[in-house]
Amino acid sequence: MSDKFDVIIVGAGPGGYVAAIRCAQLGLKTACIEKWVDDKKKPKYGGTCLNVGCIPSKALLDSSHKYVEAKNDFDVHGISVKDVKIDVSKMIDRKDGIVTQLTGGITGLFKANGVTGIQGCAQLQGGRKLEVTDIDGKVKIYEADNIILAAGSVPVEIPPAPLDDNIIVDSTGALEFREVPKRLGVIGAGVIGLELGSVWSRLGSEVVVIEALDSFLGMVDQQIAKDAKKILTKQGLDIRLGARLTNAKVVKKGKKSTVTVQYTDSEGDKEQVFDKLIVAVGRKPLSESLLSKDSGVNLDERGFIFVNDYCETDAPGVYAIGDLVRGPMLAHKASEEGVMVAERIVGKKTQMNYDCIPSVIYTHPEIASVGKTEEQLKADGDAYKTGVFPFAASGRAMAANDTAGMVKIIACAETDRILGCHIIGPSAADLVQQIVIAMEFGSSAEDIALTVFGHPTLSEAVHEAALAVEGHAIHIANRRKRK
């Protein structure tokens, strides 16, 4: 005996729960399967993003930034604050409260939209059937005309640094420290490593970031990446590039444990002792146990599910979205794929513009980008022009005492169409969205240059960068003058 739905979504992260709500809005009988549970054994929605990823990490980033700002930066405003302290447990509790509120909110949204929540771990069988094993080990079969796989991803584990209780941890464990480690090692100088390293560095940890690659933030425009490394190093992050981890071992001395890390760089073999070690070398799709042999869905060599531009798998009526498929592992990318699939199921011709997906690193200053980098354009042999404006010349940034960074706009040399935008600076995550919208409508740099921006605002830096593309910036000396 099986339960039949129009659509079943596997996974209730930012891709899955959004897809479920949109399917229900479109009149489809919808169910969403989630394996995570709360203390009452009921589904706990939100996936990695809401529970142990985007949201909790941003809560800690905001708390730690306010602490370091009060400690170091209020004096310039004439504000005297003495004996600034951080209650780490209270900070963690606040983070947990935000998570509880948001995950509970999804439960309410499911109820309001008529989505059926199902607790269990699902495996796709042939013929669009799902075998679901609940927390008590009971197995039930569900069927649907359409299935959307949105199981997400998990942190990559590496043999030289096996996770060990709360000493060697992944990104999830790094959100739960109840005291500030004196010495903290971070393996990986990517988004997660830099964000979590920043949190604990601000609170007093001596943070060493060990990165195997010789380049810093290789996926970021390198003019921005160079500025980022300079700023983050000044803030206290000891970033060691070209350093390959060879071993990490927990050493216990009485009640205290440390971790000895061995790595190799251009100077040879080295060793360092930390109180905690965060392994943040990336994530991999959670596809291993998701598919039966007769599911009809195929994977590539890295475990990603093969899909076309509309997220259709090789099995008719089966879709896959988010971290399970090609493209950046970003919550907003997963959400929009979920909406696209839901609408295509009911016959709409909805598409996604994969050239206009922004990405953000929530250090301070933030690092945000959309579109092509200079390095990519050079590699493709495309002619381009750039405009750069520093926040040091922004009146609003000066007033806020937040002047580090720049806005960089890249446009086609022939058509002036915007090809990319890269920002490091205050509110970069919000500022880049202006260019995302502009690129979605095929705007030129001149379109932005001719747009009226409010004064004084941080967004004026975007306006000035667009003016600088043709050497027309007003508030900096231009590299070239044009009529």
Per domain, the residue ranges of the chain are 2-155+284-352, 168-281, 356-468
**How many angstroms separate the CA atoms of 195 and 210, rounded?**
14
Same topology for domains 2-155+284-352 and 168-281, yes or no?
Answer: yes
CATH architecture of 2-155+284-352: 3-Layer(bba) Sandwich (3.50)
* Residue 455 annotated as catalytic: yes
Both tokens of 313, joined, read 């798998």
CATH 3.50.50.60 for domain 168-281 = yes
The tens-digit pLDDT sequence of the chain (483 residues) is 357 999 999 999 999 999 999 999 999 999 999 999 988 888 999 999 999 999 999 999 999 999 999 999 999 999 999 999 999 999 999 999 999 999 999 999 999 999 999 999 999 999 999 999 999 999 999 999 999 999 999 999 999 999 997 899 999 999 999 999 999 999 999 999 999 999 999 999 999 999 999 999 999 999 999 999 999 999 999 999 999 999 999 999 888 999 999 999 999 999 999 999 999 999 999 998 999 999 999 999 999 999 999 999 999 999 999 999 999 999 999 999 999 999 999 999 999 999 999 999 999 999 999 999 999 999 999 999 999 999 999 999 999 999 999 999 999 999 999 999 999 999 999 999 999 999 999 999 999 999 999 999 999 999 999 999 999 999 999 976 555
Q: Which two tokens stand for residue 481?
A: 């003058």
CATH fold for the domain made of 356-468: Enolase-like; domain 1 (3.30.390)
Question: What is the predicted pLDDT for the residue at 3?
Answer: 76
Q: The whole model's pTM is what?
A: 0.96
Catalytic choice (455, 463, 472, 475): 455
